Chains A and B, each alone.
Chain A
Amino acid sequence: MTLASPGRAVFVNQLVKRYGRTVAVGGASLEVETGEIFGIIGPNGSGKTTTVECLQGLRTRDSGEVRVLGLDPQAQRNALRHRIGSQLQESALPERLRVWEALDLFAAMSPHSRNWRELLEEWDLTEKRDTAFADLSGGQRQRLFVALALVNEPEIVFLDEMATGLDPAARRGAWELVRQVRRRGTTIVLVTHFMDEAEELCDRIAVFRAGTVVALGTPPELVARYAGRSLVRFTDNTEDLDWLRDCPGAEEVAREGPRVEVRGTGPLLAHVGAALVAHGIAPADLRVERATLEDAFMAMTGEGAP
């Protein structure tokens, strides 16, 4: 079929992968631009891990076309392996291996590696330098795995459920580090089941459901497309507010005593605000309740966030 366009970090066309009779991925297609943080979200078992592991040449696809940095991860795995970084959803290290030894070892496996002491520092592992893998907490292991994925200065890094096991503060720290990684020029493919993480970090997101991509776009696009209605609230005692229905995008005005709710689409807050001010009303609590990616996710997959 088509060749991957240059500049595309990842190109996937009609990827299919079965395990026996289970179709894990049934014709997924997507493209990731160089320098992008690309999110993959979807319910458990929807084929996210299978897809990214096919991209890393760790699983053999049944059909479809896959290019990563212009290479076929299966046929050209050797050429590719030092250019990509992998944080796998499931993996382990020898129990008695120490943190610094793991970083040192993985750094030695690649022709161009970062100074792993910096990574130790960045991922807040300096104190755990001499701790055995078995003695690390879940969050520390996870941070180590992400650091290991970055030690070879990859051009593209695959992070599969990076934030699992991290406490809220560590998650936010990890987000900042991921942004830094991108600033260094690395393309990032981020599989996550945290909607706030996807919304916060990703330039574009592919939504998986039952092994296919059911939606693809920037977080605001997805929210607008699948959970597009916003809700503007304020309190006011004016009797007649029916003229609010004439605001562009407004669809429904409801009130209960002084509490008013306007539902609709588009930049609703601005229009409602302008109309209120034009009528000499300036409520102090005028606010919009924006739909979130989580609302969109539920609309797209018919489920709550996993």
Chain B
Amino acid sequence: MRGVGKLAWIETKLFVREPLALLFAFAFPFFMLFVLAGVFGNDVDPTDEENLRVWRGVGPTDYYISTYVGLVMASAGLITLPLRLASYRETGVLRRFRAAGVPLGVVLGAQVLVAIGMAIIGAAGIVVAGRAAYGAQMPESWPLVLVGSAMGLAMFAAIGLLLGAILPTSRAVQGAGLTLFIVMMMISGSGPPREVLTTVMQTVSDGLPLTHLNLLVQDAWLGFGWNTGQALVVVAITVVAGFLAVRFFRWE
């Protein structure tokens, strides 16, 4: 499909021409890195058992670095991608595309490619920044981390399509998408560690896609191996969200 490539390239150029959108997409994860690495540092006290349990036996910055990768993906999928689709619907761009015979697959495919590309750049940026500025640990297993991250990209792309399909306007996305993002940022493991959440928060947290992605990638990152259970959950969310997105997509 040469159409997808062409539209994706155009979309990329459009993003670069709107630097604010680009900044907004990446701002939160970097801000979290800056605040939390600053507050907690990366020191481990080997004698403090409670502390070891909460931070899974590593320093806070090592604990968080993988979850910021997830956060970048969440921001692309919960905000950037649906915002673009909804505003295209709102302004009549989708209508215009449809009349020109641009297939649904090309419209969605291009958005997904761009969102994934941006998320990869953002994720790489945060890993480099975490390493350079705060000495964050690098993955124990690169292959497992890369596979897990790829699954995360797919999951948040599908969720982004779903939000873009069912939320009619960019206002709705700014409300719902941003809320979802902030909730995930706070209780999916990118904020306070899972261990210190209240039971209610943990229950809510279990229902959030980012929680499962964070567990999957964090395990691989810190050397706890491949978490098949979480991987299955991530795949399931991807399939369901992708199916619903195509099912409920509206051009206008």
Interface of chain B residues 54 through 101 with chain A (CB within 8 A)? 88, 91-93, 95-96, 98-101
Alpha-carbon gap, A64 to B155, bound state (A): 43
Shortest B185–chain A CB gap in Å is 29
Residues of the B chain whose Cβ atoms lie less than 8 Å from the Cβ of A108: 2-3, 6
Nearest residue, chain A, Cβ from B2: A108
Structural contact, A88 and B99, CB atoms closer than 8 A: yes
Shortest B92–chain A CB gap in Å is 4
Residues of the A chain whose Cβ atoms lie less than 8 Å from the Cβ of B14: 94, 96-97
The digit string for A132-146, where 1 denotes a CB below 8 A from any CB of B, is 100000000000000
Q: Is the interface of B mostly helix, strand, loop or mixed?
A: helix
Q: If the complex has contacts A101-B10, A108-B2, are A94 and B100 also in contact, measured as CB distance less than 8 A?
A: no
Shortest B113–chain A CB gap in Å is 15
The digit string for A95-131, where 1 denotes a CB below 8 A from any CB of B, is 0110001001110111000000000000000000000
Which of A81, A88, A92, A152 touches B91 (beta carbons < 8 Å)?
Answer: A92
Q: If the complex has contacts A88-B96, A93-B96, A97-B10, are A109 and B17 also in contact, measured as CB distance less than 8 A?
A: no
Structural contact, B101 and A93, CB atoms closer than 8 A: no
Nearest residue, chain A, Cβ from B88: A94
Residues of the B chain whose Cβ atoms lie less than 8 Å from the Cβ of A132: 17
Structural contact, A92 and B2, CB atoms closer than 8 A: no
* Count of chain B residues with a beta carbon within 8 Å of a chain A beta carbon: 21
Nearest residue, chain B, Cβ from A110: B101
B178 sits at the interface (CB 8 A): no
Interface of chain B residues 86 through 144 with chain A (CB within 8 A)? 88, 91-93, 95-96, 98-102, 106
Structural contact, B18 and A96, CB atoms closer than 8 A: yes
Shortest A305–chain B CB gap in Å is 27
Alpha-carbon gap, A17 to B88, bound state (A): 26
Which of B18, B93, B95, B102 touches A109 (beta carbons < 8 Å)?
Answer: B102
Structural contact, B3 and A109, CB atoms closer than 8 A: yes
Interface of chain B residues 1 through 48 with chain A (CB within 8 A)? 2-3, 6-7, 10, 13-14, 17-18
The digit string for A5-29, where 1 denotes a CB below 8 A from any CB of B, is 0000000000000000000000000
Q: What are the 4 tightest A-B residue pairs by CB atom distance, in nearest-first order?
A: A81-B101, A91-B96, A86-B99, A96-B17
5 more CB-based (< 8 A) A-B contacts, given A88-B95, A94-B88: A86-B100, A88-B92, A105-B6, A108-B6, A109-B3
